[in-house]
Chain A
Amino acid sequence: MTTLTAPYRRAISSETEDVRPLRRRLGPGKPIRFGSLIGIAVLLLAWIVGSATGLLDERNLSAPWTVIATGETLIENGRLQESLVTSGIRAALGLGLGVVVGLVLALVSGLSRIGETLIDGPVQVKRSIPTLALIPLLLLWFGIGEPFKILTIALAVFVPIYIHTHNGLRTIEGRYAELAETLGVTRGEFIRHVVLPGAMPGFLLGLRFAVTSSLLALVVVEVINATSGIGHMITLASNYGQTDVIVVGLVVYALLGVTADAVVRLIERKALSWRRTLAS
């Protein structure tokens, strides 16, 4: 009987009384769906309207359709893919090297006091020197070949990895170490089961910063002096006043950045699944 009357009751519930005191809202309220995408759409729309009405000079910023057409041409003659692969490999190698170095240094520094005294100071000093300021020196040491580019990217990457992993390690609660002591685990087991998973949130946060840093360093080393890659394509286009090619290059950089960030988020979701249900 109750199951039959329940929908009926719900139907008239809109007419039943609902009197309650309500405070004026001070916070921003409910989030808007796809909020971040709306801003992007508005900006694109402004670009389209500006180009169509002639408000935007073609020499300053090519029209969206010109950019798309140029993109298609660049894909057809293979220049875009070629540049993308070169840049992607560079960024990946630099990122990989930087992540490994940053992780190892953070572990050594976080797990031993001697390691900390030897490593932490120099890394903090390195942190205060922008990696890009080291480029002149690196150029003298390594020339303008690939090793120079990869090393520059790695140098920009290892610092955020180190800082955040080290911080993650140091904020693992002492009570877990105490527990591990009472369970009689070995040092290796302690690192595998307590230290690494405990530092994982910090490491992944560092990785997100590191990805951004690697792309920044990539752009700089490619624009300064390169004979291949997206940055090289952009530099050439700049010399010839081809804003459409420049915009295509920028779009590719943006896509690289967004993709890399999405990959890191995916890793985060997989690796931190023990926290997911907590957050939701």
Chain B
Amino acid sequence: MASHAGQLNTHPSDRRDAAVKVTDLHRSFNEAGGVLNGLDLEIAPGEFVALLGRSGSGKSTLLRSLAGLDRGVAGTGRIEVPEKVSVVFQDSRLLPWKRILDNVVLGLRAGDAEERGRQALAEVGLAGREKAWPHELSGGEQQRAALARSLVRDPELLLADEPFGALDALTRIRMHTLLRKLCEVHEPAVLLVTHDVDEAIVLADRVIVLDGGVVRHDARVEIDGRRSQADPVFARLRSQLLNELGVEDDHDSAPRHVARAAS
């Protein structure tokens, strides 16, 4: 993904063939105030954008509006998205009464749907689990099946709403590697909603911070090659983003102080 970053460094308004183009988007759930207040956003084809923001900053609202799932929510603005959009939810949302392969190819109308489903499952490392029931899979495997289901449709845009939020830390790291690999192969534009600053930096070409219903911060991740937390560029970006989110980045030193004081 990092190789894309160089090509896409031009200013957003210079490109006409953006995968996603959101203009002056307003959304509100009640009279009191809007969740999105005139948000503008562009995502280039194949670009991986991570969306950060505090709870209630409108991350999910934006994602759902791009997914076309915000029927009945008041608002104005203009949203242009590609025809083929896939959504990955925080829960894997596999139908419990369908076997994994049937879940992956659900609604897929290609003649070779089953074969493509098998390939997609093999791609996420679930070859041989086609006939398993969803509940027989671990949380990470379920989420991998959900990834297979979204990628088997060859999406031009992949919307992911905290897809790894419910996984344990170790599984999450494995999923990061997998997702980066899959995105390099399929090259969809990605909008990933997350709470996790590290996850955003590890995965994305661009990190966006949402606050007060608009894009407050838009940072390109300029790290070539392996993205390690030990990298000073990584650390600088991390504390910068945490700062934008209103969090002091002293969380590593604080517990040690407390421990020493207690002893």
Q: Which residues of A contact B (CB under 8 A)?
A: 175-176, 178-185, 189, 193-194, 197-198, 200, 274-275, 277-278
Contacts of A193 in B (CB 8 A): 95, 98, 106-107
- A196 CB to closest chain B CB, in angstroms? 9
Complex CA gap A274/B137 in Å reads 13
Q: Which residue of A lies closest to B85 (CB)?
A: A182
- B171 CB to closest chain A CB, in angstroms? 22
Which of B91, B97, B133, B153 has the most chain A CB atoms inside 10 A of its CB?
B97
Q: Are A277 and B136 in contact, with the CB atoms below 8 A? A: yes
Contacts of B153 in A (CB 8 A): 183
Contacts of A194 in B (CB 8 A): 95
Q: Are A197 and B93 in contact, with the CB atoms below 8 A? A: no
Complex CA gap A182/B107 in Å reads 10
- B151 CB to closest chain A CB, in angstroms? 13
Complex CA gap A183/B148 in Å reads 13
Complex CA gap A32/B149 in Å reads 47
The one of A185, A197, A275, A278 in contact with B98, judged by C-beta atoms closer than 8 angstroms, is A197
Q: Are A180 and B133 in contact, with the CB atoms below 8 A? A: no
Number of interface residues of B (CB under 8 A): 20
Interface residues of chain A: helix, strand, loop or mixed (majority)? helix
The 7 nearest A-B residue pairs measured at CB: A185-B107, A183-B107, A197-B97, A182-B87, A179-B93, A274-B97, A274-B133
Contacts of A183 in B (CB 8 A): 106-107, 149, 153
Contacts of B87 in A (CB 8 A): 179, 182
Q: Are B97 and A185 in contact, with the CB atoms below 8 A? A: no
7 contacts between A and B (CB under 8 A): A180-B106, A182-B69, A182-B87, A184-B107, A185-B107, A193-B98, A274-B98
The one of B69, B106, B107 in contact with A178, judged by C-beta atoms closer than 8 angstroms, is B69
Q: Are B133 and A277 in contact, with the CB atoms below 8 A? A: yes
Q: Which residue of B lies closest to A176 (CB)?
A: B95
Q: Which residue of A lies closest to B64 (CB)?
A: A178
Complex CA gap A175/B93 in Å reads 7
Q: Does B67 contact A (CB under 8 A)?
A: yes
Complex CA gap A38/B21 in Å reads 72
Can you add 16 more A-B contacts, CB < 8 Å, to A175-B91, A183-B153, A193-B107?
A178-B69, A178-B93, A179-B95, A180-B107, A181-B68, A182-B69, A183-B107, A185-B107, A189-B106, A193-B106, A198-B95, A200-B97, A274-B97, A274-B133, A275-B96, A277-B135
Q: Does B89 contact A (CB under 8 A)?
A: yes
